Structure formats: structure tokens, C-alpha cells
Amino acid sequence: MNTLEIKDIHVSIGDKEIIKGLTLTINQGEIHALMGPNGSGKSTLSYAIMGHPRYVITKGEILFNGQDITQMKADERARLGMFLCFQYPMEVQGVQMANFLRLAKNTQGINIPVSDFRQQLKESMSLLKVDESFSSRYVNDGFSGGEKKRGEILQMAVLKPKFAVLDEADSGLDIDALKIVADGVNATMEASPLGILIITHYQRILNFIKPHFVHVVVNGKIVRSGGSELVDRLEEEGYGWAHEEEIFQ
């Protein structure tokens, strides 16, 4: 079973500490939701997990299947089977989605014949209810917000990571686009179970993707962990109660 362990990490940007001692374990087949107010460190955690060089881990460690990856570069972590769904996916003009995905697949050390890859891509697009014309379009070039997020989920379905961080995958989506993205995540999870960390401000995406565990982060620390009942309470009362009780993991 694949496991990601985050052990008491502290993360700084420049001379400012953002994550101040955070511990979290995610196993294969589990969906964890991380919620918190703006500036609490949610996105910082996602970049630190994936090895962004600007986000420096000053204390603690990250283990992937028991292997210390704390000092690994982002591309090394990706090859191990880690994936980040960006809040704001970048446009890559002149590069077709199909070519981009095949190159990404090859960097995993899996050299798939073109015909086999196209068949796998077609199956993934069918699974996610993505039109086949998607594969010939340039990566995110001229895409709507919903199309960009579906493109991220398509990448996840094709690359089949062992662990994925979805950083505010619901950002900027209307309810129809949100449901399409959520259905894609659920279909991917059903086809090839992985560990997922969903980072979000709001309850609405969690109405469609049901987390096994919910964590509340305030001021760089997890202050409360539990089940879906936490989502309901946050919706009703906001984040103040979680911080005031100072119940730390």
C-alpha cells in the first residue's frame, strides 16, 4: 500500500515561516480534505509536498513509501508517482495535449507505442467524458476555467499517480463545471485507487467528492481532524471555533 507521511514539517518562503509544524499521513485509497482560511498555509503545503524550490522545508521530513523525499526535486517526485493539480494551470501554446501527455508518460520510464498510448488516452477521455478533440488542442490555450481543470484531471487519469494533491480544483468553477471535474476525480479514483489530498476553502466540492478524513489548518498548523461532520460545522460557524479550541494534531 502506498503511503505519504508528512512529519512535523516547517516551511518558509524567504524569512517568513508559513507551515509551523504539520503532520499528516495519507494512504492509498484515502481521500483527505484540507480546509482553512486564506493565508493559513494550504497552498504552501501543496508546493512543499511537490518540491517547489521557493518553499523551503526547514524542519521535519516527507516520506513516500518510507523513502525520504524531503530534498528531492519536483521532477524526481513526479517520477515516483506524485501529482499536483494546479489552482491556475498554465497555458502551453504550440504543444498539443496528446503530445504533452505522451511525453509526460515517457518521463515515468514507461515507453508506450504511439498506437497503444492513443488508445489509453481515448479510454481516459471517455472515462472523464472529455471530447476527443481535446487531445489535439494546445495545452490550456484558449481553454475555459472548467476545461483547464478537466485537463488537469485528464493528466491525472493518464499518468496514474500514486498520490495527488488537488489545490483548489474548484476555484472559479460554476456548478456544472464543478460536477464534471468531481465526476472525473471519482472515476479516476474508482479505476485506479490512489491517495488524494483535496485543498479547498469551500464545502461544495466535498458534496461531490466524499473525503474519508477532513483536516482544518489555521496559521500553519492542523488544529482539528475528523470526518465529514467538520465540513458541516465549518459551513455553519466558520474557522474561528477550530482555532479558539487549540486542539492540535
248, pLDDT greater than 50: no
Packed helices 114-127 and 175-191: angle between N→C axes, nearest 10 degrees: 130
Other C-beta atoms lying within 10 Å of the C-beta of residue 215: 21
Question: Tens of pLDDT along 71-81?
Answer: 999 999 999 99
DSSP strand pairing (221-226 vs 213-218): antiparallel
d(CA 39, CA 17): 12
Q: Evaluate whether 53 touches 71 at the Cβ level (below 8 Å).
A: no
The pLDDT tens digits of the residues spanning 132-160 come to 888 899 998 888 888 888 888 888 888 88
For the chain, domain boundaries = 3-245
- State the average pLDDT over residues 203-224: 92
pLDDT confidence bin for 230, thresholds 50/70/90: confident
| Distance separating the N- and C-terminal Cα atoms of the chain | 24
- Model confidence over 34-61: pLDDT tens digits? 998 888 899 999 999 999 999 999 999 9
Candidate from 114-118, 126-130, 178-182 with smallest mean pLDDT? 126-130
Cell numbers for 91: 497555458
Answer yes or no: is pLDDT of 233 > 50.
yes
Angle at which helices 97-107 and 114-127 pack, to 10 degrees? Answer: 110
CA quadruple 181, 23, 74, 34: dihedral, nearest 10:
20
Which one, of 47, 27, 44, 25, lies nearest residue 36 by Cα? 44
Band of pLDDT at residue 5, cut at 50, 70 and 90:
very high
Percent of the chain whose predicted confidence (pLDDT) is above 70: 96
Confidence band of 242 (pLDDT split at 50, 70, 90): low
pLDDT level of residue 128 (50, 70, 90 thresholds): confident
Between 4 and 145, the more confident residue is 4
- Confidence class of residue 247 from pLDDT cuts 50, 70 and 90? very low
pLDDT of residue 249: 40
CATH superfamily of 3-245: P-loop containing nucleotide triphosphate hydrolases (3.40.50.300)
Res 152: pLDDT: 87
DSSP letters for 69-110: -TT--HHHHHHHTEEEE-SSPPPEEEEEHHHHHHHHHHHTT-
Rg (the chain; Cα; Å): 18
